[in-house]
Amino acid sequence: MGTSAVTVSKALAGKSGMSDKLRSKIIKKADEMGYSYPRGTRNILHDHLEIGIVIPDKYFEPDSYYAILCKQLIKKLADLGHFGLLEILTPENEKEGVLPNLMTSGHADGLILLGEPAKAYYRKVAQAGVPIVFLDFYDEQANADAVAGDNSYGAYRLTSHLIRRGHTKIGFVGNTKATSSIMDRFLGYYRAMLLNDLQVREEWILPDRELTGGLVDPVLPDELPTAFVCNCDITARMLISLLKEKGYRVPEDISVTGFDDFPQGNPGDVPLSTFRIDTDSMIELAVKALLERCAGERKPFGRLVVGGQPVYRESEIPCTNSEL
């Protein structure tokens, strides 16, 4: 072809430095010669990529936080000329370590794993040789890029806000061993308490779910704090309902904050103070990272952290009585 080996290598790797016409010519010749190169690289040089989006069944419900993220992902991929293919990870397949059909069938050029499954499962998927990005969770030992919200800082901001409003007895609601997001949110709460020389009482750390992800009602202690920081808005709503059943008013008796700014709740529910992660940026960065991997880019795996802003509403007020 009269083309250097370096140029051929760049063409097949999707790198710059040549015209589209020359690139197409090199790819066509490689196809004719039966030359094999990574499927992701090959497709990204053509029209479209097929990107698998895998969500554990425990997180996927109509109008759930992850369902909304999935819709945003599919739209972003479509805007870029690619296809988003959804697969629900069943509890059985997660437990038995069965790889996603989109992966084993060869239909997916890359994979976005949305929501944290069991550690053994996502590490197995990360070792399967398909470009992959973890979205909304991370693991420093897995061979995958990750994009997550700034969970620790968000919970720190919410807890610090309650402390500035006079609360010194603050609890946390969430199973810290269930997901990396909940653990990071707990650490943000803990940091704010520690920096203000406030006691973190074990009986005020209330699990809200099983390790498998199923939600459970928190068990309220005999002595309650004046405020709770919840790991998500769904848990905050659950806690508020439970407190009301026990005769407590929110926020008059106990202040409550959530996280995610989703869902908004039913008419008549107290508007939640919460923390809103920039999900648009999360989606954009996750897609960008995966497309770069599909294009053959080789660099150390990393974690991208996306910020957000606290949203203060009516579920918390200044502390006027430290004794319930």
Give the Cβ contact number of residue 179 at 10 Å.
23
What does pTM read for this prediction? Answer: 0.83
Question: 213: phi > 0 → left, psi -120 to 50 → alpha, else beta; which?
Answer: left
Residues 6+ apart with CB under 8 A from 227: 162, 167, 169, 170, 171, 254, 255, 256, 257, 316, 319
- Quickly tell me which residue has 């995966």 as its tokens: 290
Torsions phi, psi of 146, nearest 5?
-140, 145
Is the confidence at residue 193, as pLDDT, over 90?
yes
Is the confidence at residue 40, as pLDDT, over 60?
no
pLDDT band, very low/low/confident/very high, at 23 (cuts 50, 70, 90): low
How far is 44 from 51, CA to CA, in rounded Å?
Answer: 11
How far is 317 from 314, CA to CA, in rounded Å?
Answer: 7
Q: What is the pLDDT of residue 46?
A: 46
Q: What is the pLDDT of residue 9?
A: 57
Mean pLDDT of the chain: 90
Is the confidence at residue 37, as pLDDT, over 80?
no
**Strand ranges, E, within 101-204:** 110-114, 132-135, 145-149, 170-173
Is the confidence at residue 180, as pLDDT, over 50?
yes
How far is 232 from 181, CA to CA, in rounded Å?
Answer: 10
Residues 6+ apart with CB under 8 A from 319: 165, 166, 167, 168, 226, 227, 255
Is the confidence at residue 151, as pLDDT, over 50?
yes
Is the confidence at residue 158, as pLDDT, over 60?
yes
Q: Which of 187, 188, 51, 184 is nearest to 114 (CA)?
A: 51
Instruction: Give all domains of the chain, ordered by start, each with its CATH number.
Output: 5-37 (no CATH), 50-149+278-307 (3.40.50.2300), 151-276 (3.40.50.2300)
Edge-to-edge order in the sheet of strand 170-173: 205-206, 170-173, 227-230, 255-257
Is the confidence at residue 10, as pLDDT, over 80?
no
Q: What is the pLDDT of residue 188?
A: 99
Q: What pLDDT digit, counting tens, does each position of 246-274 carry?
A: 999 999 999 999 999 987 677 789 999 99
Largest CA distance in the chain: 84
Q: What pLDDT digit, counting tens, does each position of 89-146 carry?
A: 999 999 999 999 999 998 899 999 999 999 999 999 999 989 999 999 999 899 999 9
Task: Give percent of the chain with pLDDT exceeding 90.
Answer: 74
How far is 103 from 52, CA to CA, in rounded Å?
Answer: 8
Is the confidence at residue 48, as pLDDT, over 90?
no
How far is 308 from 280, CA to CA, in rounded Å?
Answer: 11
More confident residue, 128 or 11: 128
Residues 6+ apart with CB under 8 A from 65: 59, 232, 234, 260, 262, 263
